[in-house]
Amino acid sequence: MTPTTQRSGWAEQAARALTEAGYRRGGARRAILELLDEQACALSAQEIQRALGGRRRAVSRASIYRVMEELEAIGVVQRVELGQGIVRYEAVRRGPGHHHHLVCDRCGRLEPFTDAGLERAISRLSDRVPLKVSVHEIVIHGACRVCAR
């Protein structure tokens, strides 16, 4: 097949997790997993549908939402909402690949960032909180260089 991704085999892990959870194989799921594995940042359902329709295999909206729900349920995908009223999805990765988001509220530009200090603070916090923590999400809003001028 294609060499697909530089970053480990997230898609393979996810596929395995699906199997273990009792799901069968399917073309839509496979296409979606491969696409998500290639992304550096979060995609909306619409973006996913377009990307898959262009190259690869077309997938219906219904399948996208359904598969995303399954992937989120088994913990390999995270929904993120970055302030434009639409839901985005991205692969959950540990270590490298794990990131958060900078959003330009004027042009909508989206950029990932990482920060060790922040992760440390969150990790410490996670133990003190009245919640069995699954994932966290940090969004920094502002004006990007172009828009701030």
55 binding DNA? (CB under 7 A): no
**Site mask, DNA, residues 91-130, x = CB under 7 A?**
----------------------------------------
51 binds, among its own copies, DNA, none (CB under 5 to 8 A by kind): none
6: tokens are 């530089």
- Say how many Å lie between the first and final Cα of the chain, rounded: 45
In the complex, the smallest distance separating the C-beta of residue 43 from its own copies, rounded to whole angstroms, is: 16
Burial of residue 23, with CB atoms counted within 10 A of its CB: 0-12 exposed, 13-18 middle, 19 or more buried: middle
1 binding its own copies? (CB under 8 A): no
Query: How many CB atoms neighbour CB 55 within 10 A?
Result: 9
Distance CA 73, CA 65 (A): 12
25 binding DNA? (CB under 7 A): yes
Q: For residue 103, give the DSSP letter.
A: E
Name the helix (H) or strand (E) containing 15: helix 10-20
Pick from 83, 98, 107, 108 the residue near its own copies by CB under 8 A.
83
In the complex, the smallest distance separating the C-beta of residue 70 from DNA, rounded to whole angstroms, is: 8
Site of interaction with DNA (CB under 7 A): 23-30, 44-46, 57-63, 65-67, 69, 85-87
